[in-house]
Chains A and B, each alone.
Chain A
Amino acid sequence: MHAIYNFVSGPLAWVAFILFFGGILYQLISRAMLARKKDHYVYEYWSFFYALRSIAHWIFPFASTNSRNRPVLTIVTFVFHICIFVAPLFLFAHVSLIYEAFGISWWFMPDGVADILTLLVIGACIFFLVRRLVQPDVKYLSTPTDFILLGLVAAPFVTGYWAYHQWPGNEFMTILHMFSAEVLLVAIPFTKLNHMFLFFFTRGYMGSEFGGVRFARDW
C-alpha cells in the first residue's frame, strides 16, 4: 500500500500536472495554428472588447437570457463550477501538502466549509446525472463519454470526502482520491472538459461576431 501511495502521490502526480498544463498549452497552440490556417476569420473578427462583453454575460449567473429562463439549473451549474475550483484549491490538506513540498502556501478555508462545498459538488453531479437520465433532450444527446466525464469529475470529491471522514478503507480511498484527481487533470485538456479554457475562445469569438459585425446581443 505504501509503495502505491508513494507512486500515486509522487511521480504520477508530476505526470498528471505536466500533462494537464502541457495539454492545455498543446490544445491552445494547435488550435490557434489550425485556426490561422483554416479559420482566418477568427483572427480577422476577434475583438477583445466584444469577446469580454460576451464572456462577462455568460460567466455571471442570470446575466444571459437563457440563464434567467432556467433558474434552478443556473444556480446548480454556477454553484458546481465555483465549488470544483474553490474546494480543492483552498482545502487545508491541499495547501499544507503544497507547503510541505514547495514551501509556499495561501489562504485555506475551515474544513467544515470544505465539507459543504464537496457535498455541493456531489449533489450537483447527482443533479446532472438525473437530468441526463430523465430530461428527454439531454438524454437523447448524452453519449457514454458524457456519463464517464461526469463520473470522472465526481470521483475525486466522493473519494476525498470518504477519506477525510476516515470511513472504512480510507487508506485505499486516499489513493483512489489522488488517482482519480490525476486522471481528471489529464482528461481536462483532452476531452470536452477542455471547455474549461476553450469556453473563453468559443464564447469570445461568438461575442466578437455578434458585437462587431452583427450589432446584436448574444446573451
Chain B
Amino acid sequence: MNDATAVETKQIYDKGIEEGAARLTPEKIKQVYQQMMSAEAGARLKTYVQNCVSCGLCSEACHFYLSYDRDPRFSPAGKVRQTMAELMKKKGAVSVEFMKKTSEIASTECNLCKRCAQYCPFGLDVAFVMLFVRRLCHKLGISPQYIQDTAHSHSVTGNQMWVKEDEWVDSLQWQEEEAQEEIENLRIPVEKEGAEIFYSVIGPEPKFRAQLIYQAAVIFNAAGLNWTMPATPGWDNSDMAMYTGDNEIMARIKRMHFETAMRLKVKRVVMGECGHAFRSIYDVGNRALGWRMPPVEVSHSIEFFYELLRDDKIKIAEKYKPTVTIHDPCNVVRGRGLHDMLRYVVHAICENVVEMHPNREHNYCCSAGGGVINCGPPWKMKRVNGNKVKAQQLFAAKSRGAETCVAPCHNCHGGLEDIIHHNEIGMDLKFLGDIIYEVMEKPERV
C-alpha cells in the first residue's frame, strides 16, 4: 500500500460530520430521505442512478480514480454505487455510519467537475447525483465543518469570508490608495449607478488576495472603462451553499448579487478569475431563481480580457518571458467553453506556451473545486494525493520548459498550489490578471 492509499483509508476526523452524526438516528435518516425523495427526486435522479450499466467507462474520467491507483471505489459510478444507489435500494434504511461515509464521499471525493459526463456513453450525470447526496447530507446536518462554516458566512454576511460591510469598503479604499502610488488618478468607483460594468469578486479577494483588486483597477483604468463595485453585500459572487446543497441560501445570495447589479443599473457583470462563482451565477443560481439564463449579462475575466486584447483596449508593453502552461478550470471550460478565448489571451500576453494534455474541455480538474478545498484542512492531503495525475501533467509541462502555470480560477489556484508544493514541482502559479498587470502599458487617465 502506498502513501496515498494509506492517507485515504485512514479515518479522517471532521467535526461537522461527526457531531452532526451524533445527533442522528436511523429513523431520522429514513424520514429525511423519504421527504427529500418525494419532494425533490425526479426523472433525472432515477435515471442517472438506476440506468448505469456498470460498464466502467467513466472510471478513467476521474482524477481521483486515476490518482488512487485505479481504486474502483473512486470511479464515478463507484461513488454513486456506494451512496445514492445504496440509499435507493434500502429506501433510506441505512445506518448513521453509512451516512457519515456517504457525506465524505459526496463532499470530498468528487469535485463535481462533470468530466465523467463526457465519458459516460449515456451521459449520466454523476455530479448531479453527488450534489443531490450533498443536499441530503445538508438536511441531515452532516456537511463537513469548514464548508458548512462558509455557508454560514454566506447566510450571515452575504459573502464567503465573514467580511463585514465596512471592512469591504475599507479594502477597496486601501487598494485604491495603494494603486494611486503607482497611477495617480486611479479610482475604484464605488456605487456608481449606471456604470457599464459591475466588477464582482469573491470573498477571498478582499481577505487574502487584495492585490487582485488593485490589478483589476489598473486594467480597468488602462482600458478606460466605466465600471463600479458595490458598497453593499451582494458584491461577492462566490457560493459554497451551492456546494453543500443548501439551495435556499444559494438562491438567496444569488438574488442579492443580481439585485445589486439591477440596483446599480449596470449593463453587465464582469467577474474576477473564479470558476465556481461563475458556475453559480451563470448556471446554477439563475436557474434556482427562475431565470433560464442570468438576468444580467455575465462575463468571466477570461472573456473580458479576451475582449480587451482583441479590441486593443489594453496594450502589451512586452510579453511575459518565462514559458507558461495553461490549466483549464472546469467551471469556465467544461462549464462555458472559454478554452479558446483563454488560449487567445495567454498567447497574447506570454511569449512561450506549452500545453498540458489532456486539455481544454477534457482537462483534469484541480481537485480543489466543487467545494472540496472548502472542506478544509482535514481533507487536504486526500485531495492533494487524489490528484497525482495533475502533478504528472505539471511535471510533464515543466520538462518541456514551463516555469509558470496560468490558472484563471481561485479554487484551482488553491488546489494547484498545494499540488505544486507537496510534489515539489517548483512552478509559479499566476492568474491572467497577474500577468496582464505585469506586462501591460499603464497609461495615466483622468
Contact = CB atoms under 8 A, between A and B. Distances in A.
The answer to whether A and B come from one shared complex is yes
Interface string B103-133: 0000000000000011101111100000000
A138 B55 contact: yes
A218 B41 contact: no
Interface stretch (A1-9, A30-38, A118-126): A30-38
A189 to B, nearest CB: 12
Interface string B34-45: 000000111110
Interface stretch (A13-21, A39-47, A88-96, A166-174): A39-47
A38 B121 contact: no
B335 A216 contact: yes
Contacts of B59: 137
A142 B123 CA distance: 19
A219 interface: yes
Contacts of B73: 140
Interface in B8-60: 40-44, 46-48, 50-57, 59-60
Contact of B75 (A137, A195, A203): A137
Given A137-B72, A141-B78, A216-B333, A202 B51 contact: yes
Contacts of A35: 42-44
Contact of B335 (A45, A214, A219): A214
Contacts of A199: 121-122
Given A39-B43, A137-B75, A65 B336 contact: no
Given A141-B54, A192-B52, A66 B119 contact: yes
A39 B156 CA distance: 30
Interface stretch (A104-112, A180-188, A205-213): A205-213
A198 B362 contact: no
Given A31-B47, A39-B43, A214 B334 contact: yes
Contact of B54 (A65, A142, A204, A217): A142
Contacts, number: 127
Nearest to B52: A192
A146 interface: yes
A192 B117 CA distance: 18
A206 B123 contact: yes
B376 interface: no
B362 A141 contact: no
Interface string A137-155: 1111111001000000000
Contacts of B44: 35, 39, 42, 205
Contact of A65 (B56, B70, B118): B118
Given A44-B292, A65-B118, A206-B117, A218 B60 contact: no
A199 B334 CA distance: 22
A202 B292 CA distance: 20
The interface size bin for chain B is 35 or more
Nearest to A33: B43
B43 A42 contact: yes
B192 interface: no
Nearest to B334: A216
A136 B43 contact: no
A47 to B, nearest CB: 12
A25 B302 CA distance: 46
Contacts of A45: 292
B207 interface: no
Nearest to A143: B54
A215 B339 CA distance: 10
A58 interface: yes
B207 to A, nearest CB: 30
B199 interface: no
Most buried by A among B40, B54, B72, B81: B54
Nearest to A138: B56
B443 interface: no
Contact of B47 (A54, A140, A198, A215): A198
A190 B336 CA distance: 36
Given A58-B121, A206-B123, A66 B42 contact: no
A64 B73 CA distance: 25
Contacts of B287: 41
Contacts of B345: none
A141 B70 contact: no
B176 interface: no
Contacts of A58: 121, 123
B65 A146 contact: no
B226 to A, nearest CB: 28
Nearest to A34: B43
A94 B123 CA distance: 34
Contacts of A214: 283, 334-337
A210 B125 CA distance: 12
B77 interface: yes
Given A66-B121, A140-B72, 12 more contacts: A65-B119, A66-B57, A70-B57, A137-B72, A139-B72, A140-B75, A141-B54, A202-B123, A202-B124, A214-B283, A216-B334, A218-B117
18 contacts: A38-B42, A39-B44, A41-B287, A58-B123, A132-B54, A136-B72, A137-B59, A137-B75, A140-B73, A141-B81, A194-B51, A195-B122, A205-B44, A210-B118, A215-B336, A216-B333, A216-B336, A218-B118
Interface of B: 40-44, 46-48, 50-57, 59-61, 65, 70, 72-73, 75, 77-78, 81, 117-119, 121-125, 283, 287, 292-293, 333-337, 339, 361-362
Pairs A-B, 7 closest by C-beta atoms:
A38-B42, A206-B123, A215-B337, A140-B72, A141-B54, A138-B56, A35-B43
